Structure 1
Amino acid sequence: MMGSFFKVQDVLENYKSAVYEKDVERFINMYAPDIHIYDCWENWECKGISSWKEDVEDWFNGLRVDGVLLKVDFNDLLVDENSNLAFLHCAVTFAAHHEESGEKLRQITNRFTYGLKKVNESWVIVHQHSSLPIDMETGKGSFNLK
């Protein structure tokens, strides 16, 4: 494990900065080896850190190709934790900015739920679930309803 996350908030701050800097290793570092993810993007689910790392590498490489910096904000955050387990849910906004001009290009918000546990005194994400409301007429996900 590269870093330690002594507070749940440390995990969220790492998430934000690792995405912005497109740092795959620092991003992956906050996930458990047996991570289980339900995602609202291309894959229905992802099991295990190696599979998740491939998805993250593709995500960050796409941002590089597009010349985009991605700013992440956690809104309406609710954290319930005890000494070894934590449960979080929130609305996560991803705002894409042009790398050179800083111009905001687009933004999406979707819902996230995280399950964390302490391993060697450091919080790690063991489960992540992202979701969107679905428009029942079109069958498409609805971003930014908030």
Structure 2
Amino acid sequence: MTGTVPTTARDAIRDLVDAHAAALSAGDAEAVAALYAPDARSFDLRPPLQYRSSREQRADDLRAWYGGFAGPALFEVRELTVEAFGDVAFAHGLARLTATPHGSPGPFSLWYRMTLGLRRVDGSWLITHEHKSTPFYMEMAADHSFKAAVDLEP
């Protein structure tokens, strides 16, 4: 079933995605965690294959992750599309992470695909499902591995 996205829902979800990127870029783990429903499930770039935790644990894990970088980890979202019907929505687009790991001579920049499932709870949109992925080159390397396509740009 499809429905028209009310401007208010579209704007609210776009604002949430902007707030998510800003909080990630600011290193504000509590602000990031507050954007997720308590039962949210993530399929992130990092292991494990799926991730579910309390908001407090999510914030703790983010703080530990931020500790691996020399300086801020910057996030950007492009080509965001929002679909919604009632109190359920999803958003998808391309996201970029730019950061400098401790001990690295310089920053890396990685584009990846992002899809968010959202639910409106008590009038506010929350992330209930998050999926991030990078494509990989289908040709097998000499060591029988596949190479992630981290050199792609939109």
Answer whether TM exceeds 0.5 for this pair. Answer: yes
- The 5 A counterparts of 1:18-97 are 18-49=23-54, 50-63=56-69, 66=70, 68-96=71-99
1:9-47 per-position Cα deviation (integer Å, ceiling 9, x unaligned)? 121121122112111111100001001111221221101
Q: Give the equivalent residue in structure 2 for 1:105.
A: 107
Structure 2 residue matching 1:34: 3-state secondary structure: strand
> 4, 14, 19: which is aligned to 1:14?
19
Higher Cα radius of gyration: 2
Choose which of 116, 119, 122 in structure 1 pairs with 2:121: 119
How far, CA to CA, are the matches of 1:97 and 1:79 in structure 2?
31
Q: Percent identity?
A: 25
Of 128, 131, 135, 2:130 maps to 128
Cα deviation for residue 97 of structure 1 reads 6.7
One-letter amino acid of the counterpart of residue 111, structure 1: R
> 5+ residue gaps in structure 2?
1-10
- The structure where strand makes up a greater share of residues is 1
1:144 & 1:9 partners in 2: Cα distance? 27
Question: How many residue pairs are counted as aligned between the two chains?
Answer: 133
Counterpart Cα distance in 1 of 2:57 and 2:100: 27
What RMSD, in angstroms, separates the aligned Cα atoms of the two structures?
2.1
Relative to the length of structure 1, the TM-score reads 0.80
Counterpart-to-counterpart distance in 2, 1:15 and 1:83:
22
TM-score by length of 2: 0.76
